[in-house]
Amino acid sequence: MGRIKVETCEIEGLKIITPAVYGDSRGYFMETYNYREFSEAGIDVKFVQDNQSASKKGVVRGLHFQIEHPQCKLVRAIVGEVYDVAVDLREGSPTFGCWHAEVLSAENKKQFFIPAGFAHGYTVLSDYAEFCYKIDDFWYPNDEGGIAYNDPDIGVEWPLEGIEVILSDKDRDRMSFREYKAERGL
């Protein structure tokens, strides 16, 4: 090891990864993913798909999850800055319903590993951001679920004061956390 630094969070399974960055007058170089390094750090996942999105300030994407095909995600911002959130939806977890957030940016180069069983979302803090994520299972359009980003029972502290929130039609109509639990008999 040595090319990445891995920090754990208060919620088991979530990890913040900071890669070693080698810079000089020409720019920089870093490894954003190395299976051996990640595996030694406890992230032994086979990723099958890479996704990228672009959004402007105030866009909120989430809180999303796959129902029957939950996904592990490794996320990072390659342009701009985002506030990235993971909510524990693992039944029986002592932190069920709890959330953790990280600021990910092109500048800090941090990555956030989110294991299967979490809802995920983010908002753009900069004027514009490009966001990349690796996932370990394919996306199934009929398997997507979501919880309202601003659900008071979850209580994510989004840094959105004074910012016009921009949501997709789907994210405007997401269920509450209470509805999610009732739907699952929890």
Q: Which residues are catalytic?
A: 64, 133
Q: For residue 181, which of 123, 101, 119, 122 has the smallest C-alpha distance?
A: 119
How much of the chain is in helix, strand and coil states, percent to nearest 5?
10, 40, 45
The span from the CA of 53 to the CA of 62, in Å, is: 13
Query: CA distances (Å), 35 to each of 3, 4, 47, in order?
Result: 12, 11, 10
